[in-house]
Amino acid sequence: MASKLDNIFKQRKQKLERLRGRGVNPYPHRFTQTHTTGEAIELLDKQKGGGEGKKVSVAGRITAIRKMGKASFMDIRDISGKIQLLFQTVNYKEAEMELFKDLDIGDIIGVEGKLLRTRTGEPTISVAGFTLLAKSLRPLPEKWHGLSDTEIRYRQRYIDLIANTGVKDIFKTRSRIIAAIRQFLDKRGFIEVETPILQSAAGGALAAPFITHHNVFDRDLYLRIAKELHLKRLIVGGFDKVYEIGSDFRNEGIDSEHHPEFTMLESYEAYADYTDVMTMVEQMVAYVAQQVLGKKEVKYGKDTVKISPPWRRITLRDAVKEYSGIDYVKYPTADGLREKMRSVMKEVDPQKNWAKLVDELLKTFVRPRLIQPTFVYDYPVSMSPLAKNRPGEERVVERFQPYAGGMELGNAYSELNDPILQRERFVEQMQERHGHDEEKWTIDEDFLTALEYGLPPTGGLGIGIDRLVMLLTNQASIREVILFPQLREKEE
């Protein structure tokens, strides 16, 4: 027995055949627009009635049809908004009437006509002529005006974008956020560059990579887990300020803040340290919020987050001590720290090393409390193999992470530029990860060679674009700010 959807699909295909039988091309090559729907409405508003009678040509998808005999109405929507169409069908020729009868919700049409306002003040185009631009064979989902099924929304984002205008707004805002970041960095003299996505070594972070194979070279390659090592090569080569915005890939879990493909900004500035980068971050995020939202405070969940500098600064040791009651420095071994953590936590992973236990304290007790923008800084060296030690400190490095809305937004540090020490750190990480095949830490010999030519003092930064967009658009899930998120394979 055919389903309702099958029947509608069949009916629309019949309409398509009728249209073609009458010599109508249901998929023409182009249509000339004079205005978007938003521009047409603006024309009416700006001229305070003087816009009435102006001829416009607009195009969009039909989202409502109200057939009322001699005068019928439709709504069409494009990227800028919605406008009402008035069809006075008594004025149309027979061929136009036949086409009008075969229009459905979801079809894309182009119209020409004069602007007017109805008695209720609704901006309207009185349609003198119209053209079918694309026949929709599938109906929009039932209750599509409030489509909420996340499975459909994420798997068929095109339906989500049609149905939920607020979703379009999120991604328009995302585009503006990235553009504002570029403006900010370009004004500061940074150069935007592109580095390889396919890499011979999975370096720059401790994460499980995606592995692929190059047939011609007959070798395995990794999708990059970070941009860091190639960008620092450019600093060695004499580019003093560089940045890149692009995708990184980590073959790990998915949750509200993690996705296997994500967008990162990484920047590196010669002759700077992590305090310079802190100042740049708070200024950049405030600049972006002002440029994109027109304000420096945002609503995130039930909280108001005030983005204006200066942001709070607190050491990792003090933050963990304040929110968990544990001074991890007093417990220098994994077993000792694990035993202490059991006094404040129900479960503690017996396999985690000391660095991962400290990270667990940070994620469990500190991060959820950091609603207002905060820099947590000065991390144990075992957590940060690419960072430079604080002067006079053997176990502490100059690293910080920015937090806001209870989320980690990024990672930054004064870059380690001693090639001998960097090799030692890499070897330690290799030994530490022995037997943990899911997380690759490979020694990038070419990167170490680059360091041997001399890397100047450098401040490095990574900011998660997806999480920044989540914060500035008040979204609790990373999937809401990624156009096509990864999903499990659909069951037939």
Q: What is the pLDDT of residue 143?
A: 62
Q: What is the pLDDT of residue 29?
A: 96
pTM of the model: 0.93
pLDDT digits (tens, 9 = 90+) for 438-462: 555 578 899 999 999 999 999 999 9
Mean pLDDT per 10-residue section of the chain, whose length is 492 residues: 86 94 95 97 78 91 88 94 92 87 95 94 94 94 69 89 91 98 98 96 86 95 95 98 97 94 98 98 98 97 97 98 97 96 93 94 97 98 92 95 98 97 87 57 87 98 98 97 91 60
SS3 for the chain is CCCHHHHHHHHHHHHHHHHHHCCCCCCCCCCCCCCCHHHHHHHHHHCCCCCCCCEEEEEEEEEEEECCCCEEEEEEEECCEEEEEEEEHHHCCHHHHHHHHCCCCCCEEEEEEEEEECCCCCEEEEEEEEEEEECCCCCCCCCHHHCCCHHHHHHCHHHHHHHCHHHHHHHHHHHHHHHHHHHHHHHCCCEECCCCCEECCCCCCCECCCEEEECCCCEEEEECCCCHHHHHHHHHCCCCEEEEEEEEECCCCCECCECCEEEEEEEEEECCCHHHHHHHHHHHHHHHHHHHHCCCEEEECCEEEECCCCCEEEEHHHHHHHHHCCCHHHCCCHHHHHHHHCCCCCCCCCCCCHHHHHHHHHHHHHHHHCCCCEEEEEEEHHHCCCECECCCCCCEEEEEEEEECCEECEEEEEECCCHHHHHHHHHHHHHHCCCCCCCECCCCHHHHHHHHCCCCCEEEEEEEHHHHHHHHHCCCCHHHCCCCCCCCCCCC
Q: What is the pLDDT of residue 285?
A: 98
pLDDT digits (tens, 9 = 90+) for 1-53: 678 888 999 999 999 999 999 999 999 999 999 999 999 999 998 766 566 88
